Structure 1
C-alpha cells in the first residue's frame, strides 16, 4: 500500500499536462517546449571514451566515484568557484536527483528541537524536494518565490519558531523555472540564517553554467568566504545541462566531511553508482570547458531572440540564467491549452510546478517555456506563442 504520508503530494507535472492536452488536436506542427531536456550536441569524443572503456562494464564501479573523477570535479570547483575541496568531500552521483533525495535521507534528523523537522522548499519547486521531505518524515514548507522576492524564496521572512524546526532548506540557483540567480548577498544572508537556526542548505546548482553575462556565484564559495561550518552547505551539480548529457546520469555533491561521509554510507547500502565506462567519460567532460562555452553561446542566441520577439509582452522578464522562460499569462492552464490547440506549441502551466498556499499558487499566472529546440524552431515557436497569447 502506498504510504499515507505521500497522499498529499502534488501530482507530477507531465501526467497532468498529458491529461490537459492529449485529447485535443494540435493546431499546427508540434513543438515541444515543456521539458528541460537539452538538445544541443555533446562532445563527439564522449562516445569514443565510452567505447574505449567498455570492458569496464564487466566490473562493479567504484561506489563513490573513481579517484580521477573525484579529482577532476575538485579541480573544476577550484577553477569555477575558487574552492578546492578534498576528494573525500565529494561524491559522484547518478544524476543530481539521486543526490537531492538521498542527502535528505542521510542528513535529516528524526526530530529538531523536540518537534517534527521542517524542510523548506521554494515554490515553484523541483518535485524531488517535496518527496524527499515527506520520505524522511519532515514537514515540507513551501515558500513562494515571486516577482516581489526576486523569484527566490525569502526564508528569512519565516517566523523564528518555524526556523528553529528547519533541518534542510533547498535553494535552486539559477532558479528553475524563473532563471533568477542568487546573489552573493542572498547566499551570505541565508548561510547566516542557517548558522543561527542550525539547519543545512542544499544548493541545487544544476543550471550554473548556462548564464548570459556574469557567472553565477556559488553557495560553496560564499560559505568558504564566510568561514561557515563546512557541513552547513552542500552543493549539487550535473553534466545534464552543462554538457548536454542528461542520459549520462553524472553529477556530484560536495560538502563537509561529516555530511559526505553519511551520504556515502547510505550509497553503500542503497545507492546506484555510475557504471565505470560512464565515470571515465565524465572524468574528461568535467575537465573540458570548450564545449560548455559553445553550449552557453547557443542558449544566449535563443535568449536574445526571446528578448526581441517578446519585448512587447506585459510583464516579460528576461531571465539571467538557465534555459527557461517564465511567461506571465492570465491563467497558465488556459494558456497552455490555447497554445496547443491553436499553434501546436506545447508549454507547461506554471501551476503544475507549484503548490497551493495561503498566499495562492505562485505559478498559476505563468507558463514555462523551455528553449531547448534548435534556434529556428525556437524562433518560429516564440512568434506563434506571442501572436496566439498576446496578440
Structure 2
C-alpha cells in the first residue's frame, strides 16, 4: 500500500506538459523554452581536468566531498558572501535537488509541540520542496508569491497557528520561476520570523550567479551579520546554472555544525557521492570566476533583448536574476497549447508549477519561458511569441 500522503499528488510538470501538447503537431519549427537546462558552453578546460583525474573512477569517492573540494567551496562562500563557513559545515551533493529533498528528511522533526509540523513553501515553487515536506510527515503550507508581494512569499502573512507549527521554510532567490530577488531587508525579516517561531530556513540559491547588475544578497551573509544561530539557515547551491554543467550533478549544502552532522549521517546510509574525477572538476569550477562572468554576460545580453522585444506588453516585468521569463497571459495552459500548435514554440504553463489554494492557482495566468537557447534564436522566438499572444 502506498503512503496516503502521496495519493493526491498531481503529475509532475513535464509529464503534464507532454500530455497537453504531444498529441498535437507543432505549428512551426520547434523551439523548446520549457526546461531550465543551460546551453551556454562550459569552460574549455573541463575535459583536461577530467582526463588528468580519470584514475579516480577506480576508488570509492569521499562521501561528504574531498577535502580539496570542501575547501574550494568554503573559500567561494567567503569571497561571494563575506561569510565564514568552514569545510566542516559543508557537504557536497549530486545536484541541489538531492539536498533540498534530503534536508527535510534528515533535519525536520516528526512533530512540534505535539502537533503535525508545517513546512512553508512559496507558491509557485520548485516541486521537490513539496515532496520533501510530505516525506518528512509535514503539512505543506503554500504561501502565494504574487506581483503585489514582489513575487516573493510573504511568510509573515501565514496564520500564527501554522507558523507556530512550522519547522522549515523553503525560499528560492533569485526565484524560480519569477526571477525576483530577496534583498537584505527581506532576509532580515525572514530570519527574525524564523527565530520567533523556531523554524529553519532552507535557502535555494542555485541561480545566484545569474543577475542583471548587483549580486543577489545571500541569506548566509545576513544571518552572520545578525548573529543568528548557525543552525537557523541551510543553503543549497549548484554548478548547473553557474557553470553550465547540469550533467555534472554537483552542488553543495552548507549549514550549522549540528545540521551538517545530521545531513552527513543521513547521506552515509542513503546517499550516492559524486565520483572523485567529477569532484576534481567541481573543485576547479568553484575556484574560477572568469567563466562565471562570461556566462553572466551572455544572460545579461538576453535580459536586454527580452526587455526590448517585450517592452509595452501589459504586465511584463523582466527578471532580476535567473533565466526565466514569467509572462502574464489570460490562461497559461491555453496559451501554451496555442503557441505550440500555431508556432512550434514550447513553453510551460505557470499552473504546473503551483498548487491550488482555496480554488486559486497563482500560476494560472502565467507562462514560464526559459531563456536558454542562443540569443538570436531566443529573440526570434520571443518576437513570434509576442506577436501571437499580445497583438
In which range does the TM-score fall when normalised by the shorter chain?
Answer: over 0.9
Query: Is structure 2 residue 10 aligned with structure 1 residue 3?
Result: no
Query: Is structure 2 residue 385 aligned with structure 1 residue 385?
Result: yes
1:84: how far off? Answer: 2.3
Size of the alignment, in residue pairs?
391
Judge conservation of contact 1:93–1:251 (CA < 8 Å) in 2.
Answer: yes
User: Following the alignment from structure 1 to structure 2, what is the Cα–Cα distance between the partners of residues 91 and 279?
Assistant: 12
Q: Tell me, what secondary structure is at the counterpart of 2:122?
A: strand
User: Following the alignment from structure 2 to structure 1, what is the Cα–Cα distance between the partners of residues 302 and 183?
Assistant: 24
User: Following the alignment from structure 1 to structure 2, what is the Cα–Cα distance between the partners of residues 8 and 124?
Assistant: 18
1:352: how far off? Answer: 0.3
Gaps in structure 1 of 5+ consecutive residues: none
Gaps in structure 2 of 5+ consecutive residues: none
1:2: how far off? Answer: 2.9
Superposed counterparts of 1:276-291, under 5 Å: 276-291=276-291
1:289: how far off? Answer: 0.3
Judge conservation of contact 1:145–1:151 (CA < 8 Å) in 2.
Answer: yes
Q: Tell me, what secondary structure is at the counterpart of 2:230?
A: coil
Query: Is structure 2 residue 317 aligned with structure 1 residue 339?
Result: no
Q: Tell me, what secondary structure is at the counterpart of 1:281?
A: helix
User: Following the alignment from structure 1 to structure 2, what is the Cα–Cα distance between the partners of residues 384 and 66?
Assistant: 48
Superposed counterparts of 1:115-264, under 5 Å: 115-264=115-264
User: Following the alignment from structure 2 to structure 1, what is the Cα–Cα distance between the partners of residues 182 and 61?
Assistant: 36
Q: Tell me, what secondary structure is at the counterpart of 1:190?
A: helix
Runs in 1 of length 4+ with deviation above 3 angstroms?
none
User: Following the alignment from structure 1 to structure 2, what is the Cα–Cα distance between the partners of residues 2 and 366?
Assistant: 33
User: Following the alignment from structure 1 to structure 2, what is the Cα–Cα distance between the partners of residues 212 and 343?
Assistant: 30
1:310: how far off? Answer: 0.4
Q: Tell me, what secondary structure is at the counterpart of 1:169?
A: strand
1:198-239 C-alpha deviation (Å, 9 max, x unpaired): 000000000000000100000000000000000000110000
1:271-316 C-alpha deviation (Å, 9 max, x unpaired): 0110000000000000000000010000111111110000011000
User: Following the alignment from structure 2 to structure 1, what is the Cα–Cα distance between the partners of residues 348 and 173?
Assistant: 20
- Determine the structure 1 residue equivalent to 2:325: 325
Superposed counterparts of 1:51-90, under 5 Å: 51-90=51-90
User: Following the alignment from structure 2 to structure 1, what is the Cα–Cα distance between the partners of residues 139 and 161?
Assistant: 14
1:52: how far off? Answer: 1.3
Judge conservation of contact 1:9–1:131 (CA < 8 Å) in 2.
Answer: no
- Determine the structure 1 residue equivalent to 2:113: 113
1:355-383 C-alpha deviation (Å, 9 max, x unpaired): 00016100000000000000110011000
Q: Tell me, what secondary structure is at the counterpart of 1:24?
A: coil
Greater CA drift, 351-360 or 29-38: 351-360
Q: TM-score, normalised by structure 1?
A: 0.99
User: Following the alignment from structure 2 to structure 1, what is the Cα–Cα distance between the partners of residues 203 and 135?
Assistant: 19
- Determine the structure 1 residue equivalent to 2:366: 366
* Structure 1 residues 188 and 359, CA gap change in structure 2 (3 angstroms): farther
User: Following the alignment from structure 1 to structure 2, what is the Cα–Cα distance between the partners of residues 182 and 380?
Assistant: 31
User: Following the alignment from structure 1 to structure 2, what is the Cα–Cα distance between the partners of residues 228 and 177?
Assistant: 29
- Determine the structure 2 residue equivalent to 1:21: 21
1:10: how far off? Answer: 2.7
| Aligned CA-pair RMSD | 0.7
Q: TM-score, normalised by structure 2?
A: 0.99
User: Following the alignment from structure 2 to structure 1, what is the Cα–Cα distance between the partners of residues 178 and 57?
Assistant: 39
Q: Tell me, what secondary structure is at the counterpart of 1:367?
A: strand
Q: Tell me, what secondary structure is at the counterpart of 1:11?
A: coil
